[in-house]
């Protein structure tokens, strides 16, 4: 596990818990895992909670559940038990895929629905470093939001839901479930398409459903994590910041959806409703030939992941939402060719350092300066998004470059 990775664990009977663990705590967990000969980090966390509960709250011995006080014997789930757990987080199985997104959005109907929306009591977007509580994301698209196609796909799903319900405001949880299930079907269809080897588009989407293969708990866990990350990092999630309800996720952070809270019952917590922003509606309105091809709505094999209109939109409307990344992309595009990823990393480190010193009181948000692997991750993902739009290309056989510029800023703005 990457020591700065955001870990997602599946806890019986079906609740998901997102944790960000500091590096020193992760090292302790890894040491416990090694000493106790446990399967992975998640098992350490689960047993620690169970042991604490037995010792301080329950008063019941864990030995009756197959766990002794030292945590060295833990009854593993049977195949059927694990399958039941996984099933509990799935909203649709392979026999219940009808009614999901079909690749079509009636823009005329969408515009009529959006004409009736109001933007009162909207949730205000926080700066990136406040959403993620560290300087790593300041002025940049979050590092797990590695690609833009999952964002485009999610927006199209939202538009479809709005049309089907004839309403400009959609419940966030319903949007997440619908988009997750639609994304699983999209990837499954892509994997059987004639363009599956021509384009690398699966990054950011949920992993393929593992039910068709031999039972493997690690495979299920990976599947669950990828589904959770897709819905949380791309589609959207509710944040709790002090006393206020806030919103996170790529669609919201990029200014492509708006959100507000609605209280339906005094006893129930406020629920989030979301709608397309003007920018979101514009992005949806641009045809995507790759998505259309996968759904059989057009027969011509696409030449690229995004159209020229979509690429121009990214440079005009999305990038300017992220001050540092926008400026850094402009700098990268001054170069016709970049020899090695090392150059990108060095430029990133220098310019992000200057950006932070100009915009923040260092020490208010940390740690700083960025660790080398964080610099590498962010610089690589920024270039990865430019390659997704065909702005730069690289020999697929080479891991480190050179990168060749195919478009100029004047082509895109």
CATH number for the domain spanning 407: value is 1.10.10
Residue 60, domain member (yes or no) = yes
Q: In this predicted model, what pLDDT tens digit does every residue of 175-194 receive, in sequence order?
A: 999 999 999 999 999 999 99
Point out the domain boundary residue: 254, 278, 304.
304
Most confident of 6-20, 130-144, 158-172, 356-370: 158-172
Range of the domain at 132: 95-304
**Nearest alpha-carbon partner for 13 in 69, 91, 81, 93:** 81
User: pLDDT band at 225, cuts 50/70/90?
Assistant: confident
Point out the domain boundary residue: 23, 43, 76.
76
End-to-end CA distance of the chain: 40
Residue 252, domain member (yes or no) = yes
Residues 283 and 332 occupy one common structural domain: no
Point out the domain boundary residue: 76, 107, 134.
76
Q: How many angstroms separate the CA atoms of 33 and 72, rounded?
A: 10
Residue 336: pLDDT above 60? yes
Q: Can you give the pLDDT at residue 371?
A: 82
User: pLDDT band at 119, cuts 50/70/90?
Assistant: confident
User: pLDDT band at 403, cuts 50/70/90?
Assistant: very high
How large a percentage of the chain has pLDDT more than 90? 55
Residue 11: pLDDT above 50? no
Residue 132: pLDDT above 70? yes
Residue 88, domain member (yes or no) = no
Helix boundaries (H) for 145-216: 149-165, 172-191
Q: Can you give the pLDDT at residue 208?
A: 72
Residue 69: pLDDT above 50? no
Residue 82, domain member (yes or no) = no
Residues 175 and 275 occupy one common structural domain: yes
Helix boundaries (H) for 230-340: 250-253, 278-285, 289-294, 308-313, 323-332
Residues 353 and 412 occupy one common structural domain: yes
Q: In this predicted model, what pLDDT tens digit does every residue of 75-117 receive, in sequence order?
A: 344 444 444 444 444 444 443 455 799 999 999 999 999 997 7
Residues 300 and 372 occupy one common structural domain: no
User: pLDDT band at 281, cuts 50/70/90?
Assistant: very high
Residues 353 and 288 occupy one common structural domain: no
Residue 344: pLDDT above 50? yes
Residue 317, domain member (yes or no) = no
**How many separate domains does the chain show?**
3
Residues 180 and 217 occupy one common structural domain: yes
Residues 290 and 340 occupy one common structural domain: no
Q: What is the mean pLDDT of the chain?
A: 81
Residues 141 and 248 occupy one common structural domain: yes
Residue 2, domain member (yes or no) = no
Q: Can you give the pLDDT at residue 5?
A: 41
Quickly count helices (H) and strands (E) in the chain: 16, 10
Q: Tell me what the mean pLDDT of segment 259-271 comes to.
A: 74
Residues 269 and 125 occupy one common structural domain: yes
Residue 15: pLDDT above 80? no
Residues 181 and 257 occupy one common structural domain: yes
Residues 286 and 147 occupy one common structural domain: yes
Cα within 13 Å of Cα(376), Cβ side = 8
Cα torsion 302, 303, 309, 311 to 10°: value is: 120
Residues 168 and 21 occupy one common structural domain: no
Q: How many angstroms separate the CA atoms of 344 and 382, rounded?
A: 10
User: In this structure, what DSSP letter does residue 15 have?
Assistant: E
Q: Can you give the pLDDT at residue 67?
A: 33
Q: Can you give the pLDDT at residue 262?
A: 81
Residue 100, domain member (yes or no) = yes
Residue 338: pLDDT above 80? yes
Q: Can you give the pLDDT at residue 247?
A: 93
User: pLDDT band at 62, cuts 50/70/90?
Assistant: very low
Residue 386, domain member (yes or no) = yes
Q: Tell me what the mean pLDDT of segment 160-187 comes to.
A: 95
- Name the residue with higher pLDDT: 1 or 360: 360
């Amino acid at each position: 596990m990457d020591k700065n990775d955001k870990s997602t664990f599946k806890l019986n009977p079906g609740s998901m818990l997102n944790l960000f663990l500091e590096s020193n705590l992760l090292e302790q967990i890894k040491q416990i895992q090694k000493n106790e000969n446990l399967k992975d980090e998640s098992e350490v966390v689960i047993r620690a909670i169970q042991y604490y509960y037995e010792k301080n709250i329950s008063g019941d011995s864990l030995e009756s559940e197959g766990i002794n006080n030292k945590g060295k014997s833990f009854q593993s789930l049977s195949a059927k038990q694990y399958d039941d757990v996984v099933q509990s987080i799935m909203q649709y199985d392979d026999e219940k895929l009808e009614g999901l997104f079909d690749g079509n959005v009636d823009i005329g109907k969408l515009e009529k629905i959006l004409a009736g929306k109001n933007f009162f009591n909207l949730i205000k977007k926080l700066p990136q470093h406040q959403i993620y509580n560290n300087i790593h994301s300041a002025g940049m698209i979050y590092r797990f939001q590695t690609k833009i196609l999952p964002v485009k796909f999610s927006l199209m799903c939202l538009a479809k839901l709005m049309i089907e319900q004839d309403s400009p405001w959609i419940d966030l949880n319903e949007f997440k479930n619908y988009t997750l299930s639609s994304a699983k079907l999209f990837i499954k269809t892509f994997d059987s398409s004639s363009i599956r080897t021509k384009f690398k588009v699966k990054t950011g989407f949920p992993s393929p459903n593992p039910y068709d293969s031999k039972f493997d708990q690690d495979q299920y866990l990976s599947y669950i994590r990828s589904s959770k990350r897709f819905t949380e990092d791309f589609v959207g999630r509710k944040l709790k910041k002090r006393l206020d309800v806030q919103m996170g996720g790529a669609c919201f952070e990029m200014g492509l959806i708006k959100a507000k809270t609605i209280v339906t019952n005094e006893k129930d917590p406020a629920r989030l409703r979301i709608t397309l922003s003007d920018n979101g509606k514009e992005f949806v309105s641009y045809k995507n030939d790759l998505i259309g091809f996968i759904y059989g709505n057009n027969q011509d094999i696409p030449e690229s992941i995004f159209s020229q209109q979509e690429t121009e939109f990214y440079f005009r409307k999305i990038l300017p939402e992220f001050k540092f990344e926008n400026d850094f992309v402009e700098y990268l595009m001054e170069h016709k060719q970049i020899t090695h990823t090392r150059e990108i990393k060095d430029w990133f480190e220098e310019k992000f350092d200057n950006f932070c010193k100009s915009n923040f009181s260092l020490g208010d948000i940390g740690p700083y300066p960025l660790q080398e692997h964080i610099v590498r991750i962010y610089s690589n993902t920024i270039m990865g998004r430019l390659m997704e739009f065909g702005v730069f290309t690289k020999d697929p056989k080479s891991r480190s470059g050179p990168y060749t510029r195919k478009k100029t800023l004047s082509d895109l703005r």
